[in-house]
Structure 1
Amino acid sequence: MLFNVMTICILVALGAAYFVPRKMWYVIGMTLIYQIKYYYIGAIYHFDDIFNAKYNKTDLPSVSNKIAIVTGGSKGIGAEVVKKLLQCDMEVIIACRTTTAGEKLILEIRKSGITSGRAKVYKLDNCSLDSVREFAKKIKADYDRIHILINNAGVMFIPYRVTKDGFEEQWAVNYLSHFLLTSLLLPLIKIGGNPDDCSRIINITSCAHYISDIDFASINNSSKDTFLTLAAYGQSKLAQTIFTVTLQKLLTDKSLNVLVYCVHPGIVNTDLFKDTILGRYRWLMMGWKTPEQGAIPIIYAALNKDIERKGGIYISNCKEYALPSAALKEKIQKQLFEFSLKQVRLSDFF
């Protein structure tokens, strides 16, 4: 049976190679390789979610004096994060592209019986660096400190699209916009922290960072003909993880009371999969984490006292996991940081 399946696959591949232009062979081959990698790492982490479900829990302490920002906070995991932060009696800023969606979420949360906390909605389009700058400007005008920044907004496996700033959309939304936002809001985040209770920055990454690389040559020079959406997504998430480790080093060197964490929510059933085969056959995602379960490790990273003074780590299921090897290489850390500064036109992150 296995021999028959392999034979069919080889015949199909040979047939495709005959009819497909040679310049597309690389794209097709690499896409298949990445699909295999994603199914492999996805299966591992799905079972990890099952076996470690008992650890995926955290308290919801009352912290009425704190202010948090959640990007992409109007739907999916972000909406569940907002809900849990409000249960902690915090002031929560929902940063989202469509403000009406954020307002609708607040109404739904209040109707569910949660009356604690304060919620506000601000417009933020992570596809636009100008929108990031405008959002940061408004926050600085309205607030003098921020205690928690959760960089959650993201897109996954989308067709090739370039933002008006000239960047591939997954790179721009998942990583670069958050790099810029963190820099612009850092003055408020610094003020929000103190030696006994540090401010926190949470970068939402993915287990995909284990199977990805940073290809600096392709970031600004990708094209529709050679674009690999699976590679682009993984690269953007690996960048988030590397940024977490690098920024924590810089903050520690400056003796700032700010902690940075990267969090994998788990294999979660959300609309992020709408552009994949799983999105067309939702039953394939039965048994995956719910958005509420995916929000729990994010809340853990934002509020848990057991990880105070332990920044720069990677969290999944409310446990610390090993970082990908690329995130530990100082040469890559430095190169990515300097590369990102140039892309967002900053001379100094601080």
Structure 2
Amino acid sequence: MAPTSKDGPSRYIEAHKDPQGPGDARPTALQIIQDNGLLGRLTDKTFLVTGGTDGLGKETVRQLVKTGARVFFSARSPEKAEQVRNEILAEGTAGGDLERSRLEWVKIDNASLQSVREGIEDFLQRSDSLNVLIANVGIALTPHAVTVDGFEKQFAVNHLAHFLMFQLLQPLMLKSSKPDFHSRYVAVSSSAHMLSSVQIGNYNQDTKATERVDPLCSFTEDTYNPAVAYGQSKTANIWMANQIERQYGSEGLHGLSTHPGVIFTAGWAGFDEKAAAGLAQLFESDAVKASVKNVEQGAATQVMAAVDKELEGKGGLYLDDAHVADPLLEEQPFSFTGYKPWAYDPEGEVKLWRDSLAMVGLPDSSSHA
């Protein structure tokens, strides 16, 4: 049976029924931590957030340090990473000064699998535990580009890099899991998964995508469609979290995926012009304009997935607006809430997992898959 909002925390559902724009009554990431009574209470836990220098990632890091946990974040630029680290350290925590050792960064460029390997090796040399990995890095609706490894860039940055990270970190996450705090993998996905399912065997869009593509993507007849590429990568995020739950949930390692909501961050500047024009209609209604969140509110759902006590021991769930999302019918139009049926596809999830192992150069030796 498809998960619904009845399968998780419900205390914030009412606050989302009548949105009034950024800064309204909808919860922030800090409120999630406060409501869980976690300020200064996770001193024995370790988090790794990918992409911690901007937007949702930076806000997630900023609030997680207030739990007292040791927080790592990834960044491409050492200069920017150190700047953000010093900024957050200067702010301190609710309890006072923040120890410098509580906030660290690792250099990772998600567009390079070698960079991922080097960054995770650095992390493993510096930390003997990892309780939560938040896969936050993402690019959206970008013009066609191929990474140094030969993969379409949105698929590589949003999915493959995080897939490789998880494979390298999974033993430590299993080791770090405790009966009262299971390890969690949190995939920051998007309602954009509704634009396209995963194009099995056509990940690079070498031919025109046809597998469950939303009519909104008809703005171009080109073989490469930036909206399909983005939608595919976001569905892949959900599928990966689902497969993690299937493979490791019984061992105390859970996979969850999230949609932050509509937030205008720096990532919007890189949109493909044709895609931006073709999808502009999605943002024109008064209802959508009222649903826009600020960054503090946008980070709430992924922080909830990472620490909420009502989600302890649970996985295979897709969350939006700080609760488990409700299913939509395949024929329903695109929506910024809910999820399409293809978000849960056990057969596709297994195929993607095995293909991803091959793409990142790892053997398919898992007895789970």
The answer, yes or no, to whether TM exceeds 0.5 is yes
1:84 aligned counterpart, secondary structure: helix
* Structure 2 residue 84 is matched with structure 1 residue 84: no
Matched-pair contact (CA < 8 Å) for 1:58–1:304: yes
Matching residue within 351, 355, 361 for 1:335:
351
- For 2:201 and 2:184, the matched residues in 1 are separated by 32
The alignment of Structure 1 onto Structure 2 pairs a total of residues equal to 301
Does the C-alpha gap of structure 1 residues 218 and 206 become closer, same or farther in structure 2, counting only changes over 3 Å? same
Matching residue within 94, 104, 109 for 2:88:
109
Shift of 1:324: 3.0
Matched-pair contact (CA < 8 Å) for 1:259–1:311: yes
Q: After superposition, what is the alpha-carbon deviation per residue over 1:222-273, rounded to whole angstroms, capped at 9, x for unaligned? A: 3895211011001000000011111100113xx3111111011111110121
Does the C-alpha gap of structure 1 residues 126 and 223 become closer, same or farther in structure 2, counting only changes over 3 Å? farther
Identity of matched residues, %: 32
- Which residue does the alignment assign to 2:47? 68
Larger displacement relative to structure 2 (105-114 or 57-66):
105-114
Shift of 1:129: 0.4
TM-score (normalised: structure 2): 0.75
Larger displacement relative to structure 2 (185-194 or 56-65):
56-65
- Which residue does the alignment assign to 1:32? none
Which structure's CA Rg is the greater one?
Answer: 1
- Which residue does the alignment assign to 2:302? 298
Which structure carries more relative contact order (alpha carbon 8 Å, separation 6+)? 2
Matched-pair contact (CA < 8 Å) for 1:202–1:260: yes
Shift of 1:140: 1.7
Shift of 1:342: 1.1
- For 1:212 and 1:175, the matched residues in 2 are separated by 14
* Structure 2 residue 318 is matched with structure 1 residue 314: yes
- Which residue does the alignment assign to 1:268? 263
Shift of 1:332: 1.0
Matched-pair contact (CA < 8 Å) for 1:49–1:267: no
Shift of 1:214: 1.5
Does the C-alpha gap of structure 1 residues 140 and 226 become closer, same or farther in structure 2, counting only changes over 3 Å? same
- Which residue does the alignment assign to 1:191? 175
- For 1:49 and 1:153, the matched residues in 2 are separated by 30
Matched-pair contact (CA < 8 Å) for 1:271–1:279: no
- Which residue does the alignment assign to 1:158? 142
- Which residue does the alignment assign to 1:247? 244
- Which residue does the alignment assign to 2:226? 229
Larger displacement relative to structure 2 (136-145 or 199-208):
136-145
One-letter identity of the residue aligned with 1:206: S
Shift of 1:116: 3.1
Shift of 1:54: 3.9
TM-score (normalised: structure 1): 0.79
Matching residue within 166, 174, 195 for 1:211:
195
2:262 aligned counterpart, secondary structure: coil
Shift of 1:327: 3.0
Shift of 1:59: 2.5
2:43 aligned counterpart, secondary structure: coil
Larger displacement relative to structure 2 (287-296 or 261-270):
287-296
One-letter identity of the residue aligned with 1:190: L
Structure ranking higher in helix proportion: 1
Matched-pair contact (CA < 8 Å) for 2:42–2:68: yes
Matched-pair contact (CA < 8 Å) for 2:242–2:316: yes
List alignment gaps of at least 5 residues for structure 2: 1-15, 209-221, 327-338
Q: After superposition, what is the alpha-carbon deviation per residue over 1:195-237, rounded to whole angstroms, capped at 9, x for unaligned? A: 2210111000001112312212431353895211011001000
Does the C-alpha gap of structure 1 residues 349 and 54 become closer, same or farther in structure 2, counting only changes over 3 Å? farther
Q: After superposition, what is the alpha-carbon deviation per residue over 1:279-327, rounded to whole angstroms, capped at 9, x for unaligned? A: 999x989652111111111111111110111111011121001353223
Shift of 1:331: 1.8
